Each structure stands twice: as structure tokens, then as C-alpha cells.
Amino acid sequence: MNSKIVIFFQYLYKYFLVSFYFWIYLLKGLVVYSLVPAISSLFSVLRDINMGVDDETGKTVKQLYKQTFDKYKESKLTSFIYTFILIILYTGLFFFNKQQSQFSLMLTILFIYFLAMALLMLTYSSVFLSFKNMKIKDANMFAFVTIIKNIVGTVAILVVVGVVYFIADYNFLAFIIFGPFIYGLGVIFSLYKLIEE
């Protein structure tokens, strides 16, 4: 009984470290240039921890994160594009919510749809980069198709993003600590069949 509790807290500690290094590496590229590498590394490191790779190789979470982050460094342009799109959509959504017309309601719904699609594209392309070792162009093409083909996984990812958004809205410190690894584990478990194919 005690050994299971100890193992649980060891995994929780590793997940906290993954969240910490996610923020460090995200800020290392000023968010704009490191969004895709940080998310892809998040997925890879969480999977390695769940599979026990860190224990087998004797590598720390910091070493695993640095190794995987360096592998995805070439996707700076894609990170810039995704960050720019997300900022534009979120800002537009903020301003359209301030309006009180029917036209602004229609634009708000449209921007929510595009924001969800951009987040799904970012998530799926990062999954394909992490687990399928695709080139960034191929990962984005497959991401677009998979959003439609894998509707159950897509809805599950939207639920995970909603939970993380709720955590951020409710308590920002909890979001910083728990957000990355909840998002990462949620995506990995939601897309388990896709990842293992």
C-alpha cells in the first residue's frame, strides 16, 4: 500500500517538473518561437515518463526535455504562425464580446470556431511531430484531416482544453502548476489509439 502511494507522488513530482520545464522552454523562445517545440516536447516527455524511459536510461526530466526540445527546434516559423493566429483570434474574440449587435454575435461564434480549429491544429500537429516523427508540413496536413476523421478524439481534446481554460480562469497559479501536464496527459490519453497506430 505504501509503495503505491510513494510511486504516485514520484510520478506527480515528475509531472510538476515537466510543467516547470514546459514554461521555461516556452519562455526561452519568448513564446512566439517556441510554442510548437515546447508542446511537442511536453507530449514526448510525458509519454517517456509514463513508459519508464527516464528510469531505464537514468535521465532526469530536465535532460529528457532538453533533448526533445532540441529535436523540434526547427519549427520556429510554425510556432510564430500559430502564435500569431491564436493572438489575432483571441483578441478579436475579446473585442467582439464587447459589442451588443447581432453581427458581433455572429462574428463571435465564427471566431470561437476558428480558435478551436487553431488549437486543434496545433495539438494534432504537435502529436504528429512527437509520436509519428513527421515533417512539420506533413504534420499540419495530417492534423487537418484527422480533426475531421477522429471526431471522438477531437471532442475529447476540446474538453481537455476547456478544463485547462477553466483552471486558468479560476486560479492562475494552479494553471501554471497543473495546466501543462493536465493538457499533455489529456491529449495523450484522448489520442491513445492514434498514437499507438
> 109-153: per-residue pLDDT in tens?
999 999 999 999 999 999 999 999 999 999 999 999 999 999 999
Is pLDDT of 2 > 80? Answer: no
What domain count does the chain have?
1
> Per residue, what are the HEC states of the chain?
CHHHHHHHHHHHHHHHHHHHHHHHHHHHCCCCCCHHHHHHHHHHHHHHHHHCHHHHHCCCHHHHHHHHHHHCHHHHHHHHHHHHHHHHHHHHHHHHHHCCCHHHHHHHHHHHHHHHHHHHHHHHHHHHHHHCCCCHHHHHHHHHHHHHHCHHHHHHHHHHHHHHHHHHHHCHHHHHHHHHHHHHHHHHHHCHHHHHC
Mean pLDDT of 155-164: 96
Is pLDDT of 50 > 80? Answer: yes
Mean pLDDT of 29-53: 93
**Confidence band of 1 (pLDDT split at 50, 70, 90):** low
Q: What is the rounded average pLDDT for all residues in the chain?
A: 93
Is pLDDT of 49 > 70? Answer: yes
> 168-194: per-residue pLDDT in tens?
999 999 999 999 999 999 999 999 988
Q: Can you give the residue range of the structural domain that contains 27?
A: 2-196
